[in-house]
């Protein structure tokens, strides 16, 4: 595999143009709720994109809730870069989170100059792989790939089983007649500052919007300890609204 660019704009340009159209008949072997989800998320005849470029805004909890604006590129072959600016009183914090070439990294600077956070390594990579898998709901064509195995239960929860780098990930999608209600997984992390471990993680979908034939979650609440009381008290750390999505 060729190496992927570590710059957001270059990563977007590196994604190959889509060439195959979505045909619901190609997925009739999948569980019924998965078929409804894919048919809801991707309009028939829409090209199965290799990447998405998102513009977003929202709030992130850094001690207190802070406003941010960001761009993100997700590439189906296994890469993601999230580039953001966070506003705090008297300060501007800029930087990125990424998962590229099988490695995760975070780098943030005050005023874009003074180092604030710079981390990498095995634990960051494992956590970033989980994030990449969860954010496949913004690139539903990725969930149409033959490397994704699907199972479902009678409650309408479907599980997408995929491998990101060397990390096997089980992403649970709660579905209501094809509409995504929440996405959840066991993600590697240390939200309390202790040892890294598998922690319940997820996002509640509050609104969806259609961009270029793709209907995706457009307003979400995201955090750790998902599915427990701790999500509301100290797990939620990210509230996001998608302003635009372009597919390639």
CA 76 to CA 218: how far, in whole Å?
Answer: 19
Residues paired with 238 in a beta bridge: 60, 222
Average pLDDT over residues 29-44: 97
Domain ranges for the chain, please list them: 8-243
Residue with tokens 């199965």: 48
Q: Are 20 and 47 in contact (CB under 8 A)?
A: yes
How much is the pLDDT for 171? 98
DSSP 199-237: EEEEEEEEEEEEETTEEEEEEEEEEESTTSHHIIIIIEE
Q: Which fold has domain 8-243?
A: outer membrane lipoprotein receptor (LolB), chain A (2.50.20)
Q: Give residue 112's pLDDT band: very low, low, confident or very high (50, 70, 90).
A: low
Nearest alpha carbon to residue 201 among 163, 238, 168: 238
pTM here is 0.95
pLDDT, tens digit (0-9, with 9 covering 90-100), for 138-165: 999 999 999 999 999 888 899 999 999 9
End-to-end CA distance of the chain: 20
């Amino acid at each position: 595999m060729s190496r992927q660019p570590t710059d957001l704009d270059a990563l977007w340009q590196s994604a190959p143009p889509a060439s195959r159209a979505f045909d619901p008949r190609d997925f009739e072997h999948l569980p019924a709720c998965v078929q409804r989800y894919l048919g809801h998320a991707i309009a028939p005849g829409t090209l199965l994109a290799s990447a998405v470029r998102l513009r977003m805004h929202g709030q992130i909890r850094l001690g207190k809730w802070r406003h941010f604006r960001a761009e993100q590129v997700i590439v189906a072959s296994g890469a993601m870069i999230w580039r953001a600016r966070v506003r705090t009183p008297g300060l501007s914090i800029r930087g990125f989170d990424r998962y590229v070439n099988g490695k995760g990294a975070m780098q943030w600077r005050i005023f874009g100059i003074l180092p604030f956070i710079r981390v990498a390594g095995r634990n960051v990579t494992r956590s970033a792989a989980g994030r990449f898998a969860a954010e496949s709901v913004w690139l539903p064509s990725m969930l149409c790939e033959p490397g994704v195995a699907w199972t479902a239960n009678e409650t309408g929860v479907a599980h997408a089983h995929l491998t990101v780098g060397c990390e096997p990930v089980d992403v649970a999608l709660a579905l209501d007649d094809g509409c995504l209600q929440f996405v959840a997984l066991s993600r590697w992390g240390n939200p309390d500052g202790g040892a890294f471990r598998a922690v319940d993680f997820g996002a509640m979908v509050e609104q969806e919007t259609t961009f270029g034939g793709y209907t995706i979650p457009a307003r979400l609440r995201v955090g750790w300890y998902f599915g427990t009381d701790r999500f509301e008290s100290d797990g939620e750390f990210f509230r996001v609204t998608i302003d635009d999505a372009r597919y390639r």
